[in-house]
Amino acid sequence: MTYAAKLKVLFSRSDIACTVGRLASEISRDYRDKNPLLIGILKGSFIFLADLVRELDFPLEVDFVTLSSYGSARESCGQVKMLQCLRTDPCGRHVLVVEDIVDSGLTTSFLLEHIRKQNPASLKLCALSDKPSRRRTPVRIDYLGFTVPDVFIVGYGTDCNEEFRNLADICYLEEEV
Ligand code: IMP
Ligand code: MG
């Protein structure tokens, strides 16, 4: 099977652009005068965050953390590791965490708890995709793009063993459904 043949598009690049625009309007409405600190979770959120901030026409700051719980498997191992921490102090800031996909919820709840201890002025979560059927810990998503079925998605930043991050569409691997 070829690289292209085993991939099926779940959300096209135009679906994604439309959804990112909608999320940007919601975020603009709430953060325009707050100079928010947007924190992207690497690596998966790098494309989403890059597209999102270019739709926001007000002052903001960007920082990143690198978190890992997956290793090379498709299941969360349950242990979240901080491979690279924040460089901006979130104390007193309006913080918006930006994630590619919430699956078990362990990664985002770990990070939200970590930031909450540092007394931000406010703390919310924006996720491009949510796979609620796989949740292991409750997570409140304040700004949500897509709800996805229980398939492993790749593209637009997300990977399978580091492959497919560069796809412009959000796809799934055909043999899974
Ligand atoms: P959680 O801790 O299980 O919620 O997983 C969150 C992280 O796992 C996300 O940031 C993604 O990087 C990765 N992940 C979860 N589901 C998928 C998927 O379907 N495709 C690619 N990566 C995923
Ligand atoms: Mg991720």
Could you tell me the residue ranges of all domains in the chain? 4-176
The residues, ordered by sequence, that sit 6+ positions from 110 with a Cβ below 8 Å of its Cβ are 67, 80
The verdict on whether 103 is a catalytic residue reads yes
Confidence of residue 1 (pLDDT cuts 50, 70, 90): very low
Tens-digit pLDDT profile for residues 54-102: 999 999 999 999 998 765 556 677 789 999 999 999 999 999 999 999 9
Q: Please give the pLDDT value at position 25.
A: 98
- Asked if the model's pLDDT at residue 42 lies above 50, the reply is yes
Q: Active site residue: 30, 103, 159, 169, which one?
A: 103
C-alpha distances (whole Å) from 73 to each of 28, 81, 83, 127 are 36, 15, 18, 21
Overall average pLDDT of the 116-127 stretch: 98
Q: Cis before residue 131, ω within 30 degrees of 0?
A: no
By percentage, how much of the chain surpasses pLDDT 70? 92
Supply the pTM of this predicted model.
0.94
- Ligand 2 centroid vs 55 CA: distance in angstroms? 21
CB 88 within 8 A of CB 62: no
Residue with the smallest CA separation from ligand 1 atom 22 is: 158
Which contiguous run of DSSP H or E holds residue 40?
strand 37-42
Tens-digit pLDDT profile for residues 131-173: 999 999 999 999 999 999 999 999 999 999 999 999 999 999 8
Overall average pLDDT of the 22-29 stretch: 98
Q: Please give the pLDDT value at position 5.
A: 59
CATH fold, domain 4-176, is Rossmann fold (3.40.50)
Question: Is the CB of 69 within 6 Å of ligand 1?
Answer: yes
